[in-house]
Amino acid sequence: MSGIIGKKVGMTSIFGANGKYIPCTVIEAGPCVVTQVKTLEKDGYASVQLAFDEKKEKHTSSAMKGHFAKAATTPKRKIVEFKYFETAQTLGGIVDVNLFVEGDFVDVVGTSKGKGFQGVVKRHGFGGVGGTTHGQHDRLRAPGSLGASSWPSRVFKGMRMGGRMGGDRVKIQNLEVVKVIAEKNLLIIKGSIAGSKGSYVTIEK
């Protein structure tokens, strides 16, 4: 499975050949450096480790400095491993947007925006307790009953309640690559992807 590491730039829109309006996400994809090549004989499985985005040396541990030095590159911020890379890669090699062509379908992995502590209406789509007929008030967005009474005298695990929302790993599948701007290392992908502007994403072919 080939892939590349990128950074979400933002959203835009273009018009297709038939004049249809297409919302798109712009991703700065690579160039990534190959920092490790794992083989079936030595490691038990085949994979390629890619690194992306510059990082200051003073913020890099000695172990990681040595790891990057083996690949003859500077310290990087983001490291991702891709199993069973389609094309052969060598240590210190470069993977860029030329890995993709217009019309390819990709899976994009990102981290969704953190929303903080949210109630059940926003977090789980509850309808709330409707009406004020029987004397209730200020309870329109309450979750309602959490379970039985004297038995089992507890709340079952998995009960949907208020809590922290967002900040999850999200994979959006089968997104079309609308345009590749190789000279600027940009991928324009149809649709939206999880994450805020400037967040790291992984594009899997």
Output the pLDDT for position 85: 82
pLDDT tens digits for 17-38?
888 899 999 999 979 999 999 9
Whether 190 and 122 have beta carbons less than 8 Å apart is answered as no
Which residues make beta-bridge pairs with 171?
109
Give Cα 148 to chain centroid, integer Å.
Answer: 39
Q: Could you tell me which of 16, 58, 63, 7 has the C-alpha nearest to residue 35?
A: 63
Q: Could you tell me which of 189, 204, 200, 201 has the C-alpha nearest to residue 23?
A: 189
Mean pLDDT over 141-162 rounds to: 89
Average pLDDT, whole number, for the chain? 90
The pair phi, psi for residue 186, each rounded to 5°, is: -115, 140
What is the percentage of the chain residues whose pLDDT exceeds 70?
Answer: 99
The strand pair at 94-95 and 32-38 is best described as: antiparallel
Type of residue at 193: I
Output the pLDDT for position 1: 75
Domain residue spans of the chain: 3-117+168-204, 118-165
* Helix ranges restricted to H, the chain: 40-43, 62-70, 120-124
pLDDT at 63 exceeding the cut of 90: yes
CATH class, 3-117+168-204 region: mainly beta
